[in-house]
Structure formats: structure tokens, C-alpha cells
A and B are shown apart, each in its own frame.
Chain A
């Protein structure tokens, strides 16, 4: 290897097999949450602005978590830590609110009912992400 070859931080999820699987799952959720928000906002935004903005926000969080986990290093870890924490708080708060008061959430988001529409994967995913960050702590 020549000295100019850029080296990947050791904790970059892109660098290991398990990390790549994790990135695949995160990528699927980044794609599905963002695409869903895009369709909701572009076709019937006025019906439930709060839920659709939340969808868009969730999509952005998944995208930044995916990127943070992928690049690793000090900056990547910080991005991933913040995103996964927001994700965990989001799924717990929105999950609780959507069960307690369905009126505020007339249309589903990824996080509604703790992600039951997505096989509860949105509930498990932040724990896996945080576990990854913890396991690769410096």
C-alpha cells in the first residue's frame, strides 16, 4: 500500500462484514422512511402535517445514522451517537404517544406504535447502533 492510500478508521462499519449488514439494514430504513415522507408530503401534506414532518425527520435521522456508522472515526462516531440517540428517543416517545393518543397521529410514521408496521425493527435498530458504537469505543 502506498502512503497516500486513504485509510479507513478502524471503527468504520464499512470495514467489517457485520458492519456492512448493519449498514444495509440502516440504509433500507433510511430509504423507506425518506421515500414514505416524500410521498406523504408531496401528495397530501395538509391531512396530517405533524405526522408527515415527523416522517421526514425520521428519514433524515436514519440517513445521518447510516453515514455516521459508515465513516467512523471521531466525527462519524459523534454523528452516529447523536443520530442513534435521537432515533431511540424518537421511537420511544412517538411509540408511546401514538398508543396513548391516536388522534395526534392520524397517519403512520416509521415510529408509530414502536414501529409495529415495520416488524418492530425500528425499535431494535437504535439499540444495535448504540451497541456498535459502544463496542468500537476508543
Chain B
């Protein structure tokens, strides 16, 4: 959970967030490239979540597994929901929706890391 994949996801999300917030500030609706970038980020997050789920079966799991699973579901759903909402809103506010989502995603990944650190061994 604390590997380079998480770091890459967080950095990618923050870079995209800055870009989307700039687009919103410049009164630009989400472009096709923006929407594709959101999907790409969602795919990266999905990979992260799959890795985390596989990690649940290799011996040690977070002591607060239900919360961990809840965060995993939220995290994997977040990008696609933002993509869907941004497509419904082809104005500057669509860009702001993407920006907000890309700011929340790193928080979700950080929370996942925090929860994953507190583990209990299952044998």
C-alpha cells in the first residue's frame, strides 16, 4: 500500500488537480483530453485498489478491515463518478468538479495508507 504506485497516483492526481483548477479559473469546460486524463487516473487508481485487495490475502491485513474495504470502494468509484458528473456539466464548473475530485483522491489514498499501516497478522 505504501509503494511507488501510491506515490505515483498521488502525484498524478495533484498535477491533474492543479491543471483542472487552472482550467476552471480560465473559464474553460473540460476538454476531451481532460476527460481522458480523468479516465487514465481512474485506471491508475483501479490498479492500486486491485493491488491492495490482493494484499489482503497475503498474511497481514489492516486491523480495521471493514473501514479499509469501505475506503477501497469509495476510492475506486471516485474517478468514474467525477468523470460522469463532469460530462453532465460542460462548463467551467465541470472543470472544477474534476479539480475537486483530484484533490480528494490523494486524501483517500493517504487514508488507505494510514489504515493499512495498523495491521494484525492472520495466519
Contact = CB atoms under 8 A, between A and B. Distances in A.
Nearest to B90: A17
Interface stretch (A18-26, A73-81, A104-112): A18-26
B97 A28 contact: no
Interface in B36-61: none
The number of chain B residues touching the other chain, given as a range, is 10 to 19
Interface in A1-49: 16-18, 20-21, 24-25, 28, 31, 35, 39, 43
B104 A28 contact: yes
Contacts of B104: 28
Contacts, number: 33
Contacts of B91: 17
B66 A39 contact: yes
A39 B70 contact: yes
B contact patch SS: helix
A contact patch SS: helix
B89 interface: yes
Interface residues of A, number: 13
Contacts of B85: 20, 24
Contacts of A25: 100
Interface in B72-123: 74, 85, 89, 91-94, 96-97, 100-101, 104, 107
A82 to B, nearest CB: 26
Given A17-B93, A25-B100, 7 more contacts: A18-B96, A21-B93, A21-B96, A21-B100, A24-B85, A35-B70, A43-B64
Interface of A: 16-18, 20-21, 24-25, 28, 31, 35, 39, 43, 119
6 closest Cβ contacts across the A-B interface?
A: A17-B93, A17-B91, A21-B96, A21-B93, A39-B67, A17-B89
